[in-house]
Structure 1
């Protein structure tokens, strides 16, 4: 089995009394993000070395436990060893480390004791030098018995540094971090302001990973600004989703009453707010909320298109139905990773309709939306044929 060993012992340099592990990061706290990467790599248990249990840390550990893994807070190497299975493989994540799931997962697959390293000349001030011209990059994979060796050291030694030197003396294999991973934000940070910047970069990267042009050009800049602020204020994901839902209901009611411009603008705003709630739910591992948001993001534009068409006559309603059918089939036909940047999506179709109505050509907007959905469907089907 794989276990994650995390650290919550060091205080932020610019927030005296606050543990780095509990600083806001990517819609949650840093230690929750670290646990998320370990769980994604296959960890079924999380052990956290703590110096003291603050209310913020207790809350973070409780939220990690809701992800279906065992969570234990301990104060020493001996205590940690007692919580782990003797044959456990342990993934060590340094206090204050920011990295990506791909880096953590790659190291978790190593069979022997392994240290992730960077060249000494490329190391920042937080990376510990371990000799041989390299510095530790904040990630390690080891057998649980190494904790026993660390427990034999004097109790006043820093446990993270002690484990590092135990592994170095055991001649653990060294794997060099790829330079592009450093450019993508891999590093150790104990300053709240800079950690927030890294969190924004992680959010931006998650949005950039979505191929849709709507996600990249509309959602990405909004999420980069709004999500960290929402997280800092401690706003619940359900509250954000509920606000989006309320705006969406008002927008659909306005459309039904014939207020096309204000109605579509409200529904578009509601979809954007719902997408922000989806980003929060993803980083907070709130799967049920994420699924609900996904349904709402698909459903609201469909209902809006039908209401718009219904108010413009039978020909317009037929175009709305064509848009709905083609868009729904294209969504079902698209395989993960196969979507092209220009392909349509429910929010993208809604944006096309909104622009057309604002310009005073609602029927043409429905025709453009239907043609866009049909072109996306044709491209998705062709992609399926090439993969067959």
Structure 2
């Protein structure tokens, strides 16, 4: 099993009395972000080595526990040994480390004691050789922590553990050059906030299909950093998405399909932003609901345009486009979509030009044909590459 050991002992450089690990980072606190990376790498237990308990740390511990892992706070190596399974592999995260999931996964895949190292170019990293420094991540056996527990208690836990692991002949894995821009140690609140917003933006999913990528994901990535910096609540964007969605559907049903589709596209963008904010902040139920909000609004746009035609053919075209689009979404989960493929998000975009010129039936027909062609290609793709 994999466990995580995160050190949270140093104060922020510009906030006296505040632990650096509890500073805001990408909509979370730094320690929550580190725990999320460890959990994504397979950790089922998180142990926090702390110097003192603070309200911010208590809140972070509670939120980390909601992700379904065991969370324990300890002050000494002896307490850490008591909490950890004796056969566990322990991923160690130094105080103030900023990194990405790829780097943590790289280390978690190693076997035996391993230190992630880098060139000795940053005085924030602890030196372990003439020109080598510890990059703040390690993978160790519980026995190394027992070695620290056997030493005098006035020794610094993190530094002593590093020296013992290095002297035991641990393998050294160099930090990839590609990871250096997104890896470091930071304890300044403003710098950490800027760094966190940039890293979280890069971690956002980038859908392959053009409509999902450019209509919702890309604008969300651009808007997210300033929203996180202002601690924008997800519920506000959820409310905005709901109001805009109802307004857009009402406009379509009232005979203004073009205006309604534009408003619905705005509602879909607001729903995507709300989902991202909820996901970052571990708001489980809102995140699950909002994950289907944008596709749901797109599906509703088809039915609304079909109803606005006031003819049976309109309803038939709308239902056909919806069924084909839904099947495409299902198949897209089982294969790698191509950039040009249709999606439910694409439906209001495809219909908009035709709605502008007053051809709702043509709009529905084109949207349905696009989804049907995509469905046929997707089926052939699955047949050729099951």
For the criterion TM > 0.5, the same-fold answer is: yes
| Matched-pair contact (CA < 8 Å) for 1:326–1:370 | yes
Q: In the alignment, is the contact (CA less than 8 A) between 1:264 and 1:354 conserved in 2? A: yes
Distance 1:61 1:236 in 2: 21
The question of whether the paired residues in 2 share the 8 Å contact of 1:117 and 1:135 is answered with: yes
Q: Note the C-alpha offset of 1:40.
A: 1.5
Deviations 1:291-336 (A, max 9, x none): 2122322221111111112212434444333321221111111235
Give runs of aligned pairs for residues 319-358 of structure 1, distance below 5 A. Answer: 319-336=317-334, 338-358=336-356
Secondary structure of 1:129 counterpart: coil
For 2:36 and 2:248, the matched residues in 1 are separated by 36
Measured in 1, the distance between the counterparts of 2:279 and 2:335 equals: 18
**Inter-partner Cα distance in structure 2 for 1:295 and 1:387:** 28
Q: Do the aligned residues in 2 keep the contact of 1:12 with 1:20 (CA within 8 Å)? A: yes
**Distance change (3 Å), C-alpha of 1:157 and 1:258:** farther
Residue 44 of structure 1: aligned partner:
44
Corresponding residue to 2:156 among 143, 150, 158: 158
**Cα deviation 1:358-385 (Å, max 9, x = unaligned):** 5655444434322332232223122212
CA distance in 2, matches of 1:342, 1:19: 48
Structure 1 residue 117: Cα displacement: 1.3
Counterparts of 2:329 and 2:21, CA distance in 1: 39
- The 10-residue stretch of structure 1 (217-226 or 39-48) with the greater mean CA deviation from structure 2: 217-226
Equivalences for residues 1-388 of structure 1 within 5 A:
1-120=1-120, 123-131=121-129, 133-183=131-181, 185-207=182-204, 209-314=206-311, 315-336=313-334, 338-358=336-356, 362-388=360-386
Compared CA separation, residues 189 and 298, structure 1 to 2 (3 A): same
Mapped contact 1:25–1:228 kept (Cα < 8 A)? no
Answer whether contact 2:193 2:229 (CA < 8 A) is retained.
no
Deviates more, 1:58-67 or 1:348-357: 348-357
Shift of 1:260: 2.4
Unaligned runs of 5+ in 1: none
- TM-score under structure 2 length normalisation: 0.90
When structure 1 is superposed on structure 2, of 77-86 and 355-364 the one drifting more is 355-364
Q: In 1, Cα distance between the equivalents of 2:109 and 2:323?
A: 44
| Bigger Cα displacement from structure 2, 57-66 vs 142-151 | 142-151
Q: Is the 8 A contact 2:4 2:93 kept in 1?
A: yes
3-state DSSP of counterpart to 2:255: coil
CA distance in 2, matches of 1:170, 1:326: 61
Q: Secondary structure at the match of 2:292?
A: helix
State how far apart, in whole Å, the 2-side matches of 1:38 and 1:248 are: 37
CA distance in 2, matches of 1:22, 1:157: 24
SS at match of 2:128: strand
Query: Which deviates more from structure 2 when the two are superposed, residues 126-135 or residues 64-73?
Result: 126-135
Number of residue-to-residue matches in the alignment: 385
Residues 201 and 224 of structure 2 are in contact (CA less than 8 Å); yes or no, is this contact kept in structure 1?
A: no
> How far is the alpha carbon of 1:225 from its aligned partner?
4.5
What is the rounded CA distance, in whole Å, between the counterparts of 1:237 and 1:230 in structure 2? 10
Mind listing any 5+ residue stretches in structure 2 that lack a counterpart? none
Distance in 2 separating the partners of 1:65 and 1:299: 31
* 1:356 positional shift: 4.4
Asked if 2 retains the 8 angstrom alpha-carbon contact of 1:207 and 1:219, the reply is no
The answer (yes or no) to whether the contact 1:254–1:262 under 8 Å persists in 2 is yes
Give the SS at the match of 1:174. strand
Q: Which moved more, 1:219-228 or 1:77-86?
A: 219-228
